[in-house]
Amino acid sequence: MSDTPIDVRNADGQAAGRAAPDNYLTHARGFRSWAFTLDHKRIGVMYLVSLLFFFFLGGMLAMLIRAELVEPGMQIVSKSRYNELFTLHGAIMIFLVVIPGIPVALGNFVLPLMLGARDVAFPKLNLASYYLYVAGALFMLAAIAFGGVDTGWTFYTPYSTTTNTNVVPVVFGVFILGFSSIFTGLNFIVTIHKLRPPGMNWFRMPLFLWSLYATAIIQVLATPVLGITLLLLIVERAFHIGIFDSALGGDPVLFQHFFWFYSHPAVYIMILPAMGVISEVIPTFSRKHIFGYGAIAASSIAIAVLSFLVWGHHMFVSGQSDLGNMIFSAFTFAVAIPSAVKVFNWLATMYKGSIALQTPMLYALSFLFLFGIGGMTGLFLATLSTDVHLHDTYFVVAHFHYVIMGGTMIAFFAGLHYWWPKMTGRMYSERLGALSAWLVFIGFNLTFFPQFVMGAHGMPRRYADYPAQFEPYHLLSSIGAFLMAAAFFLMAGYLLHALRRGRPAPPNPWGSATLEWQCASPPPYDNFAVTPQAGDPYDLERLRYDAARGWYDPDEDAKSAGGAGGAA
C-alpha cells in the first residue's frame, strides 16, 4: 500500500491538477485491475458506465417508438415488431437502468465515503453483484438479438406462457438481475449498520443514506418474490406446470398478484434513492440546513413499509375482488402522504435560503416540479372510479414517466452532476450543464404532458396505431422526445469533454458538510487515511467560502479521532 493519502488541509487545486496525486483511478492500471477490483469506487464507475449505456439503448428504442407514432399507420416497423420495441424499452429501462439506478451507480461510490469508511461491508459480494448485473443484461440482449419479446415488460399470463417469442431468456436475465439487486441491498444494509464512524448515530447520517437503507430493505424483501414469479413463469413455459393456466386449474390473476407484489415496491426502489439525492442537493444549494430531518428520515421508512401494501392498484380491472380493490385503493392514498411530507420539507429548506442555481440544483428543482405532477396524477389512478377509465391508456404512461423519468432519472442526473467532481476530479462546463438541464426539462414536458391529455381522451397504451384525432398529441410528444434526446447527447458531450479538459476539481466544490467531501477529488484508493469525525451533515455554516479560489475550504471540524493534524 504505497499510495500516499492526500492531505486535504494542504490541497491546492491547481497544483493537484498538475501533480496528479495518486487516486483510485491511477492506483492500479490495466484491464484486470478493473475486472477484479474490490474497490467500491471502481465498481460504482463500472456500474455507471453500464447504466448509461443501457439508458442509451433503451432511449434508442424509445426514439424508434416515438418515430413510429408520429403519424397514424405503420411507417417504420410492423405491429408485432412494435410490440417488441415497447417490451424491450420497458424491460431494459426498468431492470437495467432505473432499478439498479442510483444505488449502484452513485450509491456504491458515495456510500462508504459518506460513512468515512474504506469500503462496503462485503466488497467481493459487491463485485459479484456487478457480474450478476452483466450476466442478466447479456441474457436480455441475447433475447433482443434473437427476436425479441412482445409480452410487455409485465409478462402477464396467459399471453407470456403461450407466445412463441423468446420469453425465457429475458425472464431468466431478469431473474439473475434480481439477485444482483438483493445482494446490493444486503451489502448496503450491513454497511450502514456496522461501518458508521464514531459520532455518527442514526440521526446524524446524511439523508441519502437513510434513503439507501430504506431502498435496501425493499430490495431484500421484495425482489425474491419476483424471483419466484419468474421462476414459475419459466417452469410454466418449459414444463407446462399449470399454475397460471386456468385450463389446468391454475389462476392467471395470481401471476399478477405475484408480479406486482415485487414490482410495486420496485418503483419505490426507484424513487427513494432519488429523493435521497434531492435531500442532499437542496440543502447544499440553498446554503441551509435541511428542514425536518427526522420527518424525512421517518418518511423514507414509512414509504418502504407502505409500499408493500398497495400492489393491487395495478389490478383494479384485472378481476380483483371489490374488497381487494377497496383495500388497495385506500392504502395507495396513504402511501402518497410520506412523499408529500418530503416535498414540503424540501420546500421549507429552500425557503429563505441562498439559492445557487447551478446544474445539480436545476435538476433538483425540475424534480420537484415533475415528481409533483407525477405523484398527483397517481391519485387519479388510485381512485377506483377514474382508474376504470384511465387504466391502460396513455394517462398511465404519462404518469409513470413523470415519476420514473421526471423523478428518478432527473434526480439521477442531479446526483451525477453533484458528485461528478468527486468521482472524476474534473468540473464540467456549468453553462452547458444548465443549458442541457433546461432542454431536458422542456423536452420532457413536451413529450409527456400531451400524453396525459390523450390518455384522458381514450388513447390506449401499447398500441402501434391510432385514430387521426390523436395525431397532434403524438406529434408534439415525438418532437419533445427528439428534443430530449438532443439534450442528452449534449450532456454526454460536455461530460466526456470534462473528463479530458475539465478544470481540476477541489475537494469540496459545492460546500457540503457530508464526509465524502473531506477527501480529495478523486478520492485516494483507500478513501481516508484516518476516519473523519462525523458531525451534523447539514451544518453548512461552518464551511467557509474562499472567493479567491472559488471553492469551499476544507471542513476544519471533521478532524480524525486520532487527530493526525496538519500533514498526515
**Which residues contribute to the site for other proteins (CB under 8 A)?**
1, 112, 117-123, 125, 158, 162, 182, 185-187, 189-190, 193-195, 197-198, 220-225, 227-229, 231-232, 235, 239-243, 245-251, 253-254, 257-258, 261, 308-309, 312, 319-324, 327, 526, 528-531, 561-562
Residue with smaller CB distance to other proteins, 253 or 483: 253
Residue with smaller CB distance to other proteins, 49 or 235: 235
Residue 425 corresponds to which amino acid?
G
Among candidates 8, 4, 3, which has minimal Cα distance to 560? 8
Residue with smaller CB distance to other proteins, 129 or 424: 129
Residue with smaller CB distance to other proteins, 31 or 322: 322
Residue with smaller CB distance to other proteins, 434 or 529: 529
Question: What's the half-sphere exposure (Cβ side, CA atoms, 13 Å) at 253?
Answer: 11
Minimum distance from CB of 198 to other proteins (Å)? 6
Residue 363 corresponds to which amino acid?
Y
Minimum distance from CB of 368 to other proteins (Å)? 32
Minimum distance from CB of 36 to other proteins (Å)? 16
Residue with smaller CB distance to other proteins, 222 or 302: 222
Minimum distance from CB of 136 to other proteins (Å)? 16
Minimum distance from CB of 132 to other proteins (Å)? 13
Minimum distance from CB of 124 to other proteins (Å)? 9
Handedness of CA 368, 370, 372, 374 (dihedral sign): negative
Interhelix angle 471-501/430-456, rounded to 10 degrees, is 160
In degrees and rounded to multiples of 5, residue 155 shows phi and psi of 50, 40
Residue with smaller CB distance to other proteins, 210 or 367: 210
Residue with smaller CB distance to other proteins, 214 or 278: 214
In degrees and rounded to multiples of 5, residue 405 shows phi and psi of -85, -50
**CB contact at 8 A, 184 and 129:** yes
| Grid-cell match 464551511, residue found | 543
**CB contact at 8 A, 149 and 85:** no
Residue 381 corresponds to which amino acid?
L
**CB contact at 8 A, 250 and 240:** no
**CB contact at 8 A, 564 and 41:** no
Cell of 488: 442528452
Minimum distance from CB of 39 to other proteins (Å)? 10
Minimum distance from CB of 468 to other proteins (Å)? 37
| Grid-cell match 416515438, residue found | 66
Query: Cα(147)–Cα(416) distance, rounded to whole angstroms?
Result: 34
**CB contact at 8 A, 133 and 92:** no
